[in-house]
Amino acid sequence: MSATSTALRRKRAATAGFHLGAGALALLWLLPIALVLVTSLRSFDDIAANGLGSWPQSFTLDNFGQAWNDGGQQRALINSLLVTVPCVLVTLALAAMAAFSLSRYEMPFRRSLLLLMLGGNLLPPQILLIPVSKLSEQMGVFDTLPALIGVQIGFGVGFYVFVLHGFMRGIPAEIQQAAVVDGAGPWQIFWRIILPLTRPALAALSALSFTWIFNDLLWAITVLRSDTKMPITAALIGLQGQYVSMWNVIAAGSVIAAAPTVIVFLRFQRHFVAGLNLGAVK
Amino acid sequence: MTNHQTGRRRFLAGLGAAGTAALLSGCVTSTSSGKSSSKGAVTLQSNVSAPQAKAAMQDLVAAYGKKGSARASLNTVAAETFRTQLPTYLTSANPPDVYTWYPGSVADAYAKKDLLLDLGEVWSSSPDLKSYSKALNSLCTATSGKKVFVPATYYWWGMFYRKSNFAKWGVSEPKSWDDFLDLCDKLKSKGVDPIGLGAGGNTAWVASAWFDYLDIRINGAEYHRELLAGKHRFDDPEVRKVFDRWQEVLPYFDPNGDAVPFQDATTALLNGRTGMMLIGTFFADAAPKDALDDIDFFRFPVIDPKIPLAEEAPVDGYFASARTGRRDQVVDLMSYLATAESQEIYIKGSSGTVLPCNPKAKDAGTALVKKGRAHVEEAAEITQFFNRDSSDALQPTADTALTRFLAKPKEIGSILTGWQRDAEKIWNA
C-alpha cells in the first residue's frame, strides 16, 4: 500500500519537475524574442534615457513605420522575395532532376559526382567571396539581382541533390519497373511517379531553403552594391548608424524581417522536423 | 530502354543550348554595361546610414540635382559593411565614383596604391577650397603631393558632462590635471563613478581616445603622429609615461567601463551614474532630445603647458575612385560638396553636432557647437583619431592592448611589448 503511494508520489514529483524544468527552459528561449518585441515598441528617448535593459516606460508603433519607410525595408522585402522565391523553385527543380538521374539510373561517375557535391558543401563559403565577386564583375552581372539568384542556386543545389538522392534511392525499384512496363519514358517516370512520392522531402527542403536564402547576408553584400537592390538582411544592418544605433527601430526592423520566415515556418512546421531527420538519417 | 536514351540526350542537348544562350546574352550585357559608365549620374557611395543623417545626405544630393549642372545618385551602405567593403569598391572594375571617408593617412594609404582620383583640378578651380585652412589643405594632400580629398565637416572630442548634474554635485570644470584629479576625488566621495568609458561590446576603440589625448598632452601631436606611423616604438619610455599618467586616473574609471558599449555608457552619464566621459560629439545622437541642452564639455586637462595645445577633431569628407568613368562630373560634384551651401544643408538635416569645414558656412548655432568651434580653433595642432592617423589595420592592436591594460594595469610592460610586436606586423605588411 505505502509502496504504491510512494511510487505515485515520486511519479508526480517527476512530472512536476519535468514541466517546471521544461517551462523554465522555454521561457529562457523566449526571453530574447520577448526583449526584441518589447524594444520595438519603445520610443528612442525612453531607451536613451533609461537604457535598453530598463522597464519600458513608453509605447509607440512609430518604429515600424520608420523601419518600413525611412529604413527602406519595403523595397528590401520585395528584393528578398524576388531572390528567394525563384531561388527555391529553380534549386529544387534542378536538384530533383539531378537526384532522379543519379539515384534511379546507372550513371557513370555518379558516386564521384555525389561526393563532389558533398565536398562542395564542406567548403567554407568565405574563401569563395572574392572569386565570386570578381567573376560576377567580369560577367557583367555584378550588382544585379540575377547575380545573387545565380550564386544562391549554385551554392544550394549540391546539398539538395545529396538529400533528395538519399530520399529517392529509398523508393522501391518495382514501382519504376511497373511504369516502364506500362511504356512510360524517363520524363514521365520522373514527373508522374517519383516526384509525387518525393513530395514530403521537397516540402521540407523548400521550407529549409526558403529560410536559408531569405536569411542570407554574406552573398548579398558580396555581389550587390546599390542600396535599392539589397535584401532585407542587408537593410537591417543598414539601420545601424555609424556610431549610434536606434535599437527600437532596429528591433522593429528585425520583427518585420523575421515575419516571412516565421510564416513559412508555421505553414511548414511539420516538414521542418521531417527535414531535419532527412539530413540526419541518410 | 532506347526510348530513355534518346529522351535523355535530347533533354541534355536542350539544356546545353539554353545554357549557351544564357552565357552569350551574359557577354552581350557585360560589354554594353561597361561602356555606359561614362554617362549618367555620379554615384555617391555613402556610409552615413543612421536614419536622420541619411535623410540629410538625401537632401544634399537633391539640392545638387536642382542646381542643374549634373545629377548624383546616392547609395547608402551600412557603415560596417562600407568599412569592410571599401577596398573591394575601389579595386573593382566598375567602381562607384565618389565615397564618404576620412582624409589623412587613411586616404593616403589608398592614394599610394593609385586608387584615388587626383583632385588638384577641384582644389585649384574652386573658390571655396582656396579659403580652407592650411591644416585642412595639408590633411587632404597625399605624400605624392596630389590633392586626393575634399573635406566637408568635422567634429571634436572633449570631456562631456551634464550641467545639471555638475551643479547638483557642486563641482565645476577643471583647468589643470591636478584640478581634474580633485574633481574625480570629489565625485567619488559622492558615490558617483567619476569617469565613464564605454569600451565594451563592439566599441573597444573608444578607449583609444584616452591614449590619444594623454599622448598628445604628454608627448605632443608631432610625436603622436610619428608613433602611429611606426617611427617610434610602443615600448619606448615616452609611451610608458602615457600609461603612468593613465594609472593615476584609472581608479576613478567606471568599473563597468570596459564592459558596456559607449551607447550604454552615454545612458549612464545622462543618468548621473558616471560623472563625465571623454567622447566625440556624435554621442549626442544617443541622448534623448530633452537632455541635449543640458550637455556641456570641457577641454581634456593640460598636463605639460610647454607642449603645443592639440585637440582631436576628426574630419569627414569625400574622395573619388581613380577608375571613375565620369571624371568631369566628379569634379563638378566635388566643387559643390566644398561649398558653404552644401555643408549647411547637411548640418541642417543631421543632428547638427558637426562643424562645417568651409569657413563661410554657418554651423547649427547652438551654444554647444559655438563652444566646440572655439575649442578647436584655439588648438595649435589637430589630430584625427587613432585609426584615422594610422590605419584601420592598426586599430585592433590598440583595442587589444588597451583592453588588457584596463583589466590588468600592472602588466603594462608586457602589454606594450606585445603591442609593439603586433604593430610591427602591420607596419611591415
Q: Which of A45, A140, A237 sits opposite B33 (nearest CB)?
A: A140
CB contact under 8 A, B29 and A237: no
**Weakest-pLDDT range from B6-20, B132-146, B235-249:** B6-20
Q: With a cut of 50, say whether residue B191 has pLDDT above it.
A: yes
Predicted-complex ipTM score:
0.78
- How do strand B42-46 and strand B72-76 relate by DSSP bridges? parallel
B189: confidence class by pLDDT, cuts 50, 70, 90? very high
pLDDT in tens, A224-262: 988 889 999 998 888 888 888 889 999 999 999 999 999
By C-alpha distance, the chain A residue nearest B56 is A70
The region, left, alpha or beta by phi > 0 then psi within -120 to 50, assigned to residue B149 is beta
Burial class (CB in 10 A: 0-12, 13-18, 19+), A73: buried
- For residue A34 the three cell numbers come to 520577448
Q: Which of A70, A139, A186 sits opposite B55 (nearest CB)?
A: A70
Task: Tell me what pLDDT residue B304 has.
Answer: 93
- The average pLDDT across B386-403 equals 93
Global pTM reads 0.82
Task: Tell me what pLDDT residue A227 has.
Answer: 86
| Distance of alpha carbon B302 from alpha carbon B175, whole angstroms | 7
At B113, which amino acid appears? Answer: K
- For residue B104 the three cell numbers come to 589623412
Average model confidence (pLDDT) for chain B? 88
**Weakest-pLDDT range from A108-122, B17-31, B263-277:** B17-31
Q: With a cut of 80, say whether residue B297 has pLDDT above it.
A: yes
At B170, which amino acid appears? Answer: G
**Helix (H/G/I), strand (E/B), else coil: B8:** helix
Distance from CA of A121 to the nearest CA of B (A): 24
CB contact under 8 A, B26 and A140: yes
Q: Which of A177, A225, A237 to mutate to test the interface with B (most CBs of B within 10 A)?
A: A225
Distance from CA of B124 to the nearest CA of A (A): 32
A residues 53..82 contacting B (CB < 8 A): 66, 70-71
> Which chain A residues contact residue B267 at CB under 8 A?
48-51
A277: confidence class by pLDDT, cuts 50, 70, 90? low
CB contact under 8 A, B80 and A234: no
Task: Tell me what pLDDT residue B30 has.
Answer: 38
Which residue ranges form the domains of chain B, and what is each CATH number? 39-155+314-361 (3.40.190.10), 157-312+382-427 (3.40.190.10)
- The average pLDDT across A6-26 equals 93
CB contact under 8 A, A238 and B286: no
pLDDT in tens, B334-380: 999 999 999 999 999 888 889 999 999 999 889 999 999 999 999 99
Compare B286 and A273 and report the one with higher pLDDT: B286
At B46, which amino acid appears? Answer: S
Contact B397, B423 (CB under 8 A): yes
Q: Which of B76, B91, B316 to mutate to test the interface with A (most CBs of A within 10 A)?
A: B76
Edge-to-edge strands of the sheet including B295-298? B193-196, B274-280, B157-162, B295-298
Per domain, the residue ranges of chain A are 2-39, 64-281
Alpha helices in B159-206 (DSSP H): 163-169, 177-189
Task: Tell me what percent of the residues of chain B surpass a pLDDT of 90.
Answer: 73
Q: With a cut of 90, say whether residue B272 has pLDDT above it.
A: yes
CB proximity B31 to A under 8 Å: yes
Task: Tell me what pLDDT residue A276 has.
Answer: 63
Contact B368, B353 (CB under 8 A): yes
> Which chain B residues contact residue A243 at CB under 8 A?
50, 262, 280, 282-283, 285-286
Largest CA distance in chain B: 98
Distance from CA of B426 to the nearest CA of A (A): 22
A residues 89..118 contacting B (CB < 8 A): 101, 105
By C-alpha distance, the chain B residue nearest A68 is B51
> Which chain A residues contact residue B76 at CB under 8 A?
227, 238
Contact B429, B393 (CB under 8 A): yes
pLDDT in tens, B2-48: 344 444 455 445 444 444 444 444 433 333 333 334 678 899 999 99
| Cα angle B254-A247-A30, degrees, rounded to a multiple of 5 | 100
Q: CATH homologous superfamily for A64-281?
A: MetI-like (1.10.3720.10)
Neighbours of B374 (CB within 10 A): 9
Task: Tell me what pLDDT residue B237 has.
Answer: 95
Taking alpha carbons only, the member of B298, B353, B315, B286 closest to residue B174 is B298
DSSP label at B291? G
| Distance of alpha carbon A52 from alpha carbon A54, whole angstroms | 6
B93: confidence class by pLDDT, cuts 50, 70, 90? confident
Q: Which of A51, A137, A141 sits opposite B267 (nearest CB)?
A: A51
Contact A110, A165 (CB under 8 A): no
Q: What is the DSSP string of B50-84?
A: SHHHHHHHHHHHHHHHHHSS--EEEEE--HHHHHH
Task: Tell me what percent of the residues of chain B surpass a pLDDT of 70.
Answer: 91
- The average pLDDT across A142-162 equals 92
A275: confidence class by pLDDT, cuts 50, 70, 90? low
At A88, which amino acid appears? Answer: V
- For residue B334 the three cell numbers come to 566635388
| Distance of alpha carbon A14 from alpha carbon A37, whole angstroms | 34
Q: What share of chain B is helix, strand, coil (3-state, %, to 5)?
A: 55, 15, 30
| Strand locations in B203-266 (E) | none
Best mean pLDDT range from A201-210, A234-243, B227-236:
B227-236
By C-alpha distance, the chain B residue nearest A139 is B30
Q: What is the DSSP string of chain A?
A: -HHHHHHHHHHHHHHHHHHHHHHHHHHHHHHHHHHHHHHTTS-HHHHHHH-TTSPP----SHHHHIIIIIT-HHHHHHHHHHHHHHHHHHHHHHHHHHHHHHHHS--TTHHHHHHHHHHHHHS-GGGGHHHHHHHHHHTT-TTSHHHHHHHHHHHHHHHHHHHHHHHHHTS-HHHHHHHHHTT--HHHIIIIIIHHHTHHHHHHHHHHHHHHHHH--HHHHHH---TTT--HHHHHHHTB-SS-B-HHHHHHHHHHHHHHHHHHHHHTHHHHHHHHHHHHH-
Average model confidence (pLDDT) for chain A? 89
**Helix (H/G/I), strand (E/B), else coil: B160:** strand
Please state at what angle helix A73-104 crosses helix A199-215, rounded to 10 degrees: 140
| Distance of alpha carbon A162 from alpha carbon A156, whole angstroms | 11
Q: Which of B8, B81, B282 sits opposite A243 (nearest CB)?
A: B282
| Distance of alpha carbon B102 from alpha carbon B149, whole angstroms | 8
Taking alpha carbons only, the member of A112, A209, A197 closest to residue A159 is A209
